[in-house]
Amino acid sequence: MTEQMTLRGTLKGHNGWVTQIATTPQFPDMILSSSRDKTVIMWKLTRDETNYGVPQRALRGHSHFVSDVVISSDGQFALSGSWDGTLRLWDLTTGTTTRRFVGHTKDVLSVAFSADNRQIVSGSRDKTIKLWNTLGVCKYTVQEESHSEWVSCVRFSPNSSNPIIVSCGWDKMVKVWNLANCKLKTNHIGHSGYLNTVTVSPDGSLCASGGKDGQAMLWDLNEGKHLYTLDSGDIINALCFSPNRYWLCAATGPSIKIWVWGTTH
């Protein structure tokens, strides 16, 4: 039997589409959201039934849609990517930009921090993946064997013993890259439509991908093989694992779906 989720509150403050939501376990009452209104809003959750959260600060600086935002693991910094072709590193205490990352020739669609917050990766409509340090210096541009269409999502594995980057794109491909030399490790082939999102499990053993074909595909990152295909029935816009690894949540069309699997269920 399918369980029903209950709406707890709605956060209102943006004047355009909300493109991404970011949270961190360190600060459970803080949410960041990016938007096509060119801002990132920092929210404080009050958990009040009449006003569940309030906007604390708007991070302004991008000159076009903000497509993605993530929070550093210590909760002190945010990283955003924009259709203005840049990334920005924000100090959440002051709400100011501490670094601008300039190098992509087209819209930045996805950004991510490494587990130690020392490296940054970005994916763009220019079909490249760029690896940066936190000073805003591009250390490597992945072009060889890269995606043949837009790079829609990039993520680091949290597993330091298997340092990899996972990416997906509008070429229907999921690619796994060796972080040490930025060389291609695995091509995961199986999707029949463009991909919007890829996410890595908390232990770094699995990744899941989704997009136009409505299939959430799970891949074994250690063995480099396909594990499962979960049919959502509609386009998948976002995917995330729960911290215990046995739940996968998908934002599909108008609904949210949660799949539960594994040895404990």
Average pLDDT over residues 240-248: 85
Domain assignment of residue 201, yes or no: yes
Q: For residue range 139-182, what is the model confidence (pLDDT) as tens digits?
A: 999 989 999 999 999 999 999 888 999 999 999 999 999 999 99
Task: Report the C-alpha gap between 202 and 240 in whole angstroms.
Answer: 10
Domain assignment of residue 109, yes or no: yes
Domain assignment of residue 194, yes or no: yes
Quote the number of domains for the chain. Answer: 1
- Which residues does 56 contact at the CB level (< 8 Å), separation at least 6? 42, 43, 44
pLDDT interval class at 245 (50, 70, 90) = low
pLDDT interval class at 265 (50, 70, 90) = very low
CA 175 → CA 208, 215, 223, 228, 244, distances in Å? 12, 17, 14, 17, 24
Q: For residue range 90-129, what is the model confidence (pLDDT) as tens digits?
A: 999 999 999 999 999 999 999 999 999 999 999 999 999 9
pLDDT at 18 over 90: yes
Task: Report the C-alpha gap between 152 and 208 in whole angstroms.
Answer: 14
- State which H helix or E strand residue 254 sits in: none
Q: How far is CA 236 from the centre of its chain?
A: 13
Buried-state track 96-105, b at ≥16 Cβ within 10 A, e below 16: ebebebebbe
Domain assignment of residue 40, yes or no: no
Domain assignment of residue 66, yes or no: no
Task: Report the C-alpha gap between 48 and 27 in whole angstroms.
Answer: 17
pLDDT at 214 over 70: yes
Task: Report the C-alpha gap between 101 and 80 in whole angstroms.
Answer: 10
Provide the CATH number for the domain around residue 254: 2.130.10.10
pLDDT computed for residue 50 by the predictor: 86
Q: Are 65 and 82 in contact (CB under 8 A)?
A: yes
Q: Mean pLDDT of all residues in the chain? A: 94
Domain assignment of residue 86, yes or no: yes
What range defines the domain where residue 99 resides?
A: 73-260
pLDDT at 263 over 50: no
Domain assignment of residue 162, yes or no: yes
Domain assignment of residue 234, yes or no: yes
Q: For residue range 60-87, what is the model confidence (pLDDT) as tens digits?
A: 999 999 999 999 999 999 999 999 999 9
Residue 220's nearest CA partner among 195, 194, 240, 201 is 201
pTM for the predicted model, two decimal places: 0.94
Average pLDDT over residues 41-49: 93
